[in-house]
Amino acid sequence: MIRLPGGRHADGAHNIEQLIERLWQLVGTAGSDPGPVEVTGERHVLPSVFDVTGLATASVAAATAAVAGLVAARTDGPPPVTQIDSRAACAAFVSEQLFAPRGWERPNPWDPIAGDYRSADGWIRLHTNYATHRRAALGALDLPDDGCTERTAVAAAVAGWAGVELEQAVVDLGGAAAVMHDADTWHRHPHGSATAAEPAVRVTATGPAPAPTWAAVEPVRPLSGIRVLDLTRVIAGPVCTRFLAAYGADVMRIDPPDFAEVAALLPLTTAGKRCVALDLRRAAGRQRFADLLATADVVVHGLRPGAMEGLGLGPHELRALNPGLVAARHDAYGWAGPWSGRRGFDSLVQMSCGIAAAGGAVAGTDGPVPLPAQALDHATGYLTAAAIVRALTERLETGQAADVTASLLGTANVLGSLPRPDGLRTPAPVWGTADLRPVSTAWGRADAVPDAGVVAGWPARHDREAGPLGRDDPAW
């Protein structure tokens, strides 16, 4: 039962109640009920030509209601009330923008040459936050990767290329780039047509599983006793595992030794987690991972299709090591079609599938106007978390295990299917101290967006402060 105040959320055939129900059915057993959900706040918070507020509110609601359902299963009682405020959900979606260090500085989240450029026939976005991707972009443009190349030089070089040809050249060198397409062009594109029905999340039953050991653990927190291996990067996957940690899961993030993650994100995305370094390309690292996996309940990764298989850790190998495991994975461009193995990020998917072009058209510019948040990342993170928690509940209640597959492009399909609000008329929210809370990190104190969504009587919190990668031993 979803309760909405005063009809303010009514929005034609797709109000918030219907969107929550739609996402709830997507992330678990068809025909089930999300339990009591109370939604408050304004219908439109973030100005956008797409219903970003609705996506934020409903995806946070799905994840939080899933936690409430697991509480009911573990305590043999009714599900507690789930409470969602649209402003708080939207604040979570822009949490990287609102994070405010106290007396210390966070690095710029973007590489100096990352961004949108005009090509000879349109627009292209270069994603260069990782050193390998920067080298690929500069290599394709025949520019030096010496730390001195400036945006003006990149812009001049890009202007001489046809966008699709440059995109392919960057991708061929192992980089990440995306030409801006409008929706009609994308629907005719080989990958766009192949993924027109790509879901945001897919849950697949994998067969009987032994009773989980965490079932015997006193549920002091909703996810007490549940162990999660986290092999994710950037935003979507870390949002998922950070959410699981907030409700009591023991989350262990695993990175290669000396991995250079986007440093600006670590004060947000490592909260609540152990952070260890393991080299899965080496036999000793894979063996240690296998030992950890044997007693884990969930593994989450955001590697491209085929990457885990290349390490000998594909779905079948994971299942052989641990038949009760919930194995979750997400990628950028979906799991079928010619681009299924392509590197991608939220901002690139927005360029490819028509989101950035639609924003530009409504704004009256021929250039890209993206969403006001990395909404595909955040929504995919919350929906993956929702599906994982529901799969854990299913294992507890029926003895069946499941795999979870998600993609940013699938989430873009959901967003694109929603009615378009007159969103650019919505005034941008003025965020203040009431939207933040003080937190402690290894770098110092800060003000940060609190966990969105409330499970009545079961508050979310992070018992480990955010800190650098590789700081913990690889042991539960």
Task: End-to-end CA distance of the chain: give it in Å, rounded.
Answer: 38
Predicted model pTM: 0.95
- Choice among 85, 255, 377, 435 that is catalytic: 377
Query: Domain segments of the chain: what residues?
Result: 115-195+347-360
Closest CA to 103 of 440, 464, 437: 440
Is residue 377 annotated as a catalytic residue, yes or no? Answer: yes
The per-residue pLDDT for 423 is 72
Q: In a structure prediction context, what are the per-residue pLDDT tens digits for the chain, which is 476 residues long? A: 667 654 444 443 358 999 999 999 999 877 788 999 999 999 999 999 999 999 999 999 999 999 999 999 999 999 999 999 999 999 999 999 999 999 999 999 899 999 999 999 999 999 999 999 999 999 999 999 988 889 999 999 999 999 999 999 999 999 999 999 999 999 999 999 999 999 999 999 999 999 999 998 989 999 999 999 999 999 999 999 999 999 999 999 999 998 988 899 999 999 999 999 999 999 999 899 999 999 999 999 988 777 788 888 888 888 889 999 999 999 999 999 999 989 999 999 999 999 999 999 999 999 999 999 999 999 999 999 999 999 999 999 999 999 999 999 999 999 999 988 877 788 999 999 999 999 999 999 999 999 999 999 999 999 999 999 999 999 99
